Structure 1
Amino acid sequence: MVHPLSRKLAAEYLGSLLLAALVIGSGIAAQRLSPGDTGLQLMENAAATAAGLFAIILIFGPVSGAHFNPVVSFVDAALGGLPWRHALAYLPVQVAGCVSGAVLANLMFSTTAVSISTTHRATVAHGLSEVVATVGLVLVIFSLTRSGRADKAPAAVGAYIGAAYWFTSSTSFANPAITVGRMFSDSFAGIAPASAPLFITAQVVGGGLALLLVRTLYPATVARQAAVVPRETVT
């Protein structure tokens, strides 16, 4: 089904809002439930994010593709799956949704609606982690969609992000929109504004590298491959 752009934008806004509320809200809950135990806090935050991401992709995927991430939208446009004007329209909506989700999470836990994060994360290790996290996320999404396994994407994306919380030192933001959103909550999941430019730059670099890898590993979608008549069948 082809949906109008207005409906897609609504889905991207709501999905981004829920994503930020999920990540930040579960971070606040983990911080309160397990004070003094950072490892347990991370486990709780990662588990909630992985499960919730699976659900919200199922909700909004059929409408907008469930990107919630400018890097994913622009890679999709570069691969011909999304019109560029749609990708450009998605970006501000995704950012606005993530900021709204941060405010919502703060309010749900009776904190100030907007509290600027003081968690500094700008190190070389964190930047490298964001490149790796973003490359992995984009590869998971487009390896499945371009090989006819798009129905497995919700579970695979949730599983990857849940794992990437642990194998990257940055805890795998992998998304410029959520990076901006997480600046607005001074909580376990927050990021100081001064650290955000490094994260966003690393995510853009990761998206570019992933685009090259997708084009190399999956040069054509299953649909395009099926449309090509093998040479030996021509009579």
Structure 2
Amino acid sequence: MMAETLTTDIALALLANTIATGAILVVLITMLGPISGAHFNPAVSLVFALRRDLPRRDAAFYAIVQVAGGIVGAILAHAMFALPLLQASSTVRSGAAQWLSEGVACFGLVATILAGIRLQRGAVPMLVGLYITAAYWFTASTSFANPAVAIARAFTDTFSGIRPYDLPGFILAQLAGALVALALMSWLLRAPVGDALPIHVEEQS
């Protein structure tokens, strides 16, 4: 909304969205990670529930709060910019390319989180923020990568919106990408057994 206020250049508006999203993700994950695991995404919560790292009942409640929080956030943003509080997006985002983009976006996000937790836990906030910043630009959909975000964006007829009719395709693609990432990373990051280390480095005397 701020970008639309300041410029009519679509690329510049997207860059503004990118910087704001990536930066606030780093802040929120750093602050809320120790409290709730920084669960902002139903697809990510589903993955953790399937890994048995999060009780399924909690994952269901998380998803409800994630979606509700997104919608409240959209309304709050409208209020800050003196726009009608309740809106429905008219922005068409549909088709195989968009769905593939969302599958790729959510796949990469989940892979980044799982690998980060296993290999560089302290770097996860920065890894996620940087991944989403990059994914804005390497996906045709601008990387929603989050069912709750997709639903929230259906409630704003602004630059970032998505037509409600197009939501099912996005959400299914996101969930599919998350599940593929879970399967692949479960194999890729499996704990080595005995001396079967992925990289063997001989000590130099």
Equivalent position to 2:112, from 131, 140, 149: 140
**Inter-partner Cα distance in structure 2 for 1:109 and 1:53:** 22
**Inter-partner Cα distance in structure 2 for 1:118 and 1:108:** 21
Q: 2:53 aligned with 1:53, yes or no?
A: no
**Inter-partner Cα distance in structure 2 for 1:121 and 1:57:** 28
**Inter-partner Cα distance in structure 2 for 1:163 and 1:120:** 23
Which residue number in structure 1 is paired with residue 124 of structure 2?
Answer: 153
Which residue number in structure 2 is paired with residue 118 of structure 1?
Answer: 90
What is the TM-score of this pair, normalised by structure 2? 0.92
Which residue number in structure 1 is paired with residue 172 of structure 2?
Answer: 201
Equivalent position to 1:95, from 67, 80, 83: 67
Q: 2:131 aligned with 1:164, yes or no?
A: no
SS at match of 1:122: coil
**Inter-partner Cα distance in structure 2 for 1:104 and 1:219:** 43
Identity fraction in percent: 47
SS at match of 1:104: helix
Q: Residue 206 of structure 1 aligns to which amino acid in structure 2?
A: G
Which residue number in structure 1 is paired with residue 58 of structure 2?
Answer: 86
Q: 2:7 aligned with 1:34, yes or no?
A: yes
**Inter-partner Cα distance in structure 1 for 2:31 and 2:80:** 22
Which residue number in structure 1 is paired with residue 38 of structure 2?
Answer: 66
Q: Residue 178 of structure 1 aligns to which amino acid in structure 2?
A: V
Measured after TM superposition, the shift of residue 146 of structure 1 is 2.1
Measured after TM superposition, the shift of residue 107 of structure 1 is 0.6
Measured after TM superposition, the shift of residue 213 of structure 1 is 0.9
Q: Residue 132 of structure 2 aligns to which amino acid in structure 1?
A: I
* Aligned alpha-carbon RMSD (Å): 1.3
Q: 2:106 aligned with 1:128, yes or no?
A: no
**Inter-partner Cα distance in structure 2 for 1:78 and 1:214:** 13
Q: Deviations over 1:94-148 (max 9, x none)?
A: 100101101011111100111111001011110000000000000000111123x
What is the TM-score of this pair, normalised by structure 1? 0.80
**Inter-partner Cα distance in structure 1 for 2:86 and 2:118:** 40
**Inter-partner Cα distance in structure 2 for 1:127 and 1:55:** 29
Equivalent position to 1:77, from 49, 71, 92: 49
For structure 1, which runs of at least 5 residues remain unmatched after alignment? 1-27
Q: Deviations over 1:52-104 (max 9, x none)?
A: 11111111111111120011001011112111121111111110010110101
For structure 2, which runs of at least 5 residues remain unmatched after alignment? 196-205
SS at match of 2:165: coil
